[in-house]
Each structure stands twice: as C-alpha cells, then as structure tokens.
Amino acid sequence: MFRIVSSVGPGRDHGGEVLTVVNRTRITAAALGTAALVTVGQLGLAGTASASGDATQRSASADKPSSAAPSATRSSGCPIDIVYTSRFYIGSGGWVTGNGLYFGIKNKSTKKFGKVKFTVTNVKNIRFGRATAKGGKITHKTSKSVTVYTKTLKGKAKLGVQVRTRLLNKNSYKVKFQVRGNGWNCAVNQGTWGN
C-alpha cells in the first residue's frame, strides 16, 4: 500500500534515511488505522433509529457506505418505529447496489392494528424501480412513490418495501414517510429520511 522512494544516489550509505522513511510510514499507517477504527465505531452507532429521530447523517458517494436518519417527530402513544437501510453503496448511474433500499414500519406493541398503509414518497432527487412488499402487498407504485398495505399488522410485526432506488444527486436526496391505520394514535406524517 505504501511505496518508499529514495532520492539518494547509489554508492552512498543511506541506511539511516531508509530507516527514517520506514519509521514514518509505520507511524502514518498506525495513525490511519486508528482513524479507521474511530470511523467504524461511529458508523456502528448510526444503526436503526426510530421515527422520533436521530440527527446523525452521512453523505453518500460512489462506492462508499452511507447512512442517514429520519428527522421525524412521533405522536405520544404511537406504537411504531420507522425502519430503513442504514448502510448502502451507490453503483453506476446513481443506482443503489444489491436489491436497493428497504423502508418499513415495525409494530413495537403486542396489539393488532387494522388497514395499515405505509407510503414512501420522493421529496428530492430519488427515483424508484422494481419494488417488493414485505409483510403485505403493494397497492400503489410509481417512480416517485410506493405504498404497501396489510389488512392486519400483528403485534411485533413489520410492514415494508424493498425497492430499487436511484439517487439523482448523491449529495442531496430525501424521501418522506406516511402511515395510516386503525386503532393507534400515530400522526400521518412520520418525517423524512435523506441527506
């Protein structure tokens, strides 16, 4: 990974110079290793956040992991968490690699809720491709919006969508979340996710 180049001509004793360069290289490698550990630790803390909001955001760039958190406020007594992909990679053309991004809700209570709809809508610079429902069925899908529905959201169950996603601008993108259902005290608007 490191390349040592000496500018001293042949025939001279430059053992001390090479040793100095090697020592500097070792020190630099140790410093970079420490910085990498700190960054990995910070990314680990970014994990899954609830809809109440975690203000940590990381920008996405090609071939680099990204995580972002919603900036949502939740009604008191709302028994759901918003869940989403916290790390992803961006490939060619701005498409998220793999199966795209996952957005969903998780029922934190043991109660059942009826006629639950979860909608993800583009606010800025995001387009959706093929989508697969998790825990329900897709009732609406365009390039800018996806809605997934279940007749009954059981206790501790999840409802969401895995969707191929394209970021039109890797440094500025956002979606908003909406939930509807019977038997809970949740605001329709559940905040945003993005960068």
Where residue 27 falls (left for φ over 0; alpha for ψ -120 to 50; beta otherwise) is alpha
Helices (H) and strands (E) in the chain, counts: 1, 9
- In whole angstroms, give the CA distance from residue 113 to residue 149: 12
So what CATH class is 48-194? mainly beta
pLDDT digits (tens, 9 = 90+) for 46-96: 333 333 333 223 334 333 333 444 444 445 689 999 999 999 999 999 999
What predicted TM-score, i.e. pTM, was given to this entire model?
0.64
Q: How far does CA 181 lie from the centroid of its chain? A: 26
Exposure pattern of 105-139 as b/e (b: 16+ CB <10 Å)?
A: bbbeeeeebeebbbbbbbeebbbbeebebebbeee
pLDDT digits (tens, 9 = 90+) for 90-149: 999 999 999 999 999 999 999 999 999 999 999 999 999 999 999 999 999 999 999 999
